[in-house]
Amino acid sequence: MSDENNGVGKGLLVGLLIGGVVGAVLALLYAPKSGQELRSDVKRKTADFKDQAEEYLKTAKSKAIDIINEGKQRSEQLVSDAKKKAETILGDAEKIISGVRDKSASVAEEGSKIKSAFRAGVDAYKGEKSKS
C-alpha cells in the first residue's frame, strides 16, 4: 500500500510542477503586460509554487515518518511473538526430552531385571544339568 501512496505522491508532484511550468509559459505568451509587471508576476508565481512544493514536501516527510514508525512497531511485535513461540517450543522440547530420559531409565532398569532373571535361569539349568 505504501508503494501505491508513493506513486500517487510522485505523480502529484510531477503534475504540480508541469502544470506550473505550462501555466507560467501561457501567462507569458498571452499576457499584455509590461516587462516589469511580467517579471513581478513571474516572481510571485514562483514564490507561490515554491511554497506549495515546500508544503507538499512537509506532508510527504510526515507521512514517511509515520510509515517508518508503523513498520518499526510491526517488526518489534513480530520479534516479540517469535521469541514467545520459540520459548514455548523450547519448553515443550525440554518436557519431551525429560519424558524420554525417564522412560529410557525405566527401560534400562527392566532390561537389567530381565538380564538377571535370564542369568538365574541359565545358572539353574546348568545346576540341574550337572546333577544329572
Q: What is the pLDDT of residues 52-66, one digit of tens each?
A: 888 988 988 899 899
Could you tell me the CA-to-CA distances from 113 to 19, 31, 64 in Å, in that order?
A: 95, 112, 73
φ, ψ of residue 106 to 5 degrees: the values are -65, -40
pLDDT at 83: 93
Domain that holds residue 53: 2-131
Q: Is 78 left (phi over 0), alpha (psi -120 to 50) or beta?
A: alpha
Q: Are 27 and 41 in contact (CB under 8 A)?
A: yes
Whether the per-residue pLDDT at 2 is higher than 60: the answer is no
pLDDT at 4: 61
pLDDT at 110: 83
Average pLDDT over residues 42-47: 84
Cα angle 49, 55, 60; round to 5: 125
pLDDT in tens, 104-116: 888 778 878 888 8
- Name the 3-class secondary structure at 33: coil
Q: How many domains does the chain have?
A: 1
Which spans in 1-132 are helix H? Answer: 2-30, 35-131
What is the Cα 110 distance to its own chain's centre?
52
Q: Are 11 and 19 in contact (CB under 8 A)?
A: no
pLDDT at 5: 65
pTM flag (> 0.75):
no
Confidence of residue 41 (pLDDT cuts 50, 70, 90): confident
Average pLDDT over residues 120-129: 81
Average pLDDT over residues 66-89: 93
- Cell (9 digits) for 127: 545346576
Contacts (Cβ under 8 Å, ≥6 apart) of 56: 12, 13, 16
